Amino acid sequence: MIVENVIYPFAIKYQSLPNNINLAYMDEGEGQETFVFIHGLANYAPVWKYQIQELKKTHRCIALDLPGNGLSAQGDYPYSVFFYAECVKLFCESLGLKNITLVGHSMGGQIAIMLGLRYSSLFNRLVLIAPAGIEYFSSLDKLMLQNMMNFGEYFYSDEFHIKQAIGESFFGKSADKTNVINDLVRLLASVDSGKWRTMVLASINSMLNEQVSGFLSEIALPTTIIFGENDAMIPNKLLHPGQTIPSMLKHAEALIPNVQTHVIKYAGHFVHMEKAAEVNRLLLAQPK
């Protein structure tokens, strides 16, 4: 699929999975170790351009578009965390990938946690960047969020919500923020808007209904968690006004057996774009 005026920073390849879903991805660099990058809710692979640009010098770097996102196949899929995780697993197996560091941003972080829990033998390490999945949502929290979604107030559902959500996800002004917004708006215009909203709504519901926060103590892989100090998205400011990034990370440190946590100043939810050099350094650092 080609979308006018949406240009990926590296060559686009396609991989057909055993479940007949065709995934678009970028594959750069060589090395004994491979980074596999998973984007967040209703996003796309180019958000990892600064990681690929630098890390491809020493590693194989693969960033994929999840089903229903970017240039990957659209369809009547379940669009759940479990579904996405299974597709990533099939993707890694189809390409015969070994020595994988799994890197997930936001919803991609929750997907990465699920993969680490279910298929730890396939991966060497987890890197969770501003991840969903650590924050716990009670039944009342879920009810409140679902009521908001029923009234159309949910992220990335249309052009207005894309601009609002991405705008709030960056700490400061940047060309990257404008470029991501413009690309996502163009991608939205290229697909059936009803199916897009269905994908967004199903993804959010699954993050609430397939929570992994209760299983953090079972993560066996070395894990790195990275947040921007000025993240406006996680933790949820409306439902959890008393929760902070430090308190959330303290909770994760108490549960995950082998974890390192980092908070980067002057960065928001897209910390890997705003502070790419610092994030890249942490990606290359060997876990203790």
pLDDT for 71-108, tens place per residue? 999 999 999 999 999 999 999 999 999 999 999 999 99
Average pLDDT value for residue range 4-33:
94
Q: What pTM does this model have?
A: 0.96
Confidence at residue 151, expressed as pLDDT on a 0 to 100 scale: 58
Cβ pair 99, 32 in contact under 8 A: yes
In the 8-state DSSP scheme, what is residue 179? H
Q: Which residues contact 86 (CB under 8 A, 6 or more apart)?
A: 19
Distance CA 100, CA 204 (A): 27
CATH architecture of 12-284: 3-Layer(aba) Sandwich (3.40)
Looking at this protein, which amino acid is placed at residue 170?
F
User: Would you call 271 exposed, middle or buried from its count of C-beta atoms within 10 A (0-12, 13-18, 19+)?
Assistant: buried
Q: Give the 3-state secondary structure of residue 212.
A: coil
The domain limits of the chain are: 12-284
- 3-class DSSP state for residue 126? strand
Mean pLDDT of the chain: 93
Per residue in 116-155, pLDDT tens?
Answer: 999 999 999 999 999 999 999 999 988 888 777 765 555 6
pLDDT in tens, 144-159: 887 777 655 556 667 8
Is the pLDDT confidence value at 287 over 90? no
| pLDDT band, residue 3 (cuts 50/70/90) | confident
Evaluate if residue 278 carries a pLDDT over 90.
yes
Q: Which of 143-152, 177-186, 190-199, 273-282 has the lowest mean pLDDT?
A: 143-152
3-state secondary structure of 210: coil
- Residue 288 is predicted with a pLDDT of 67
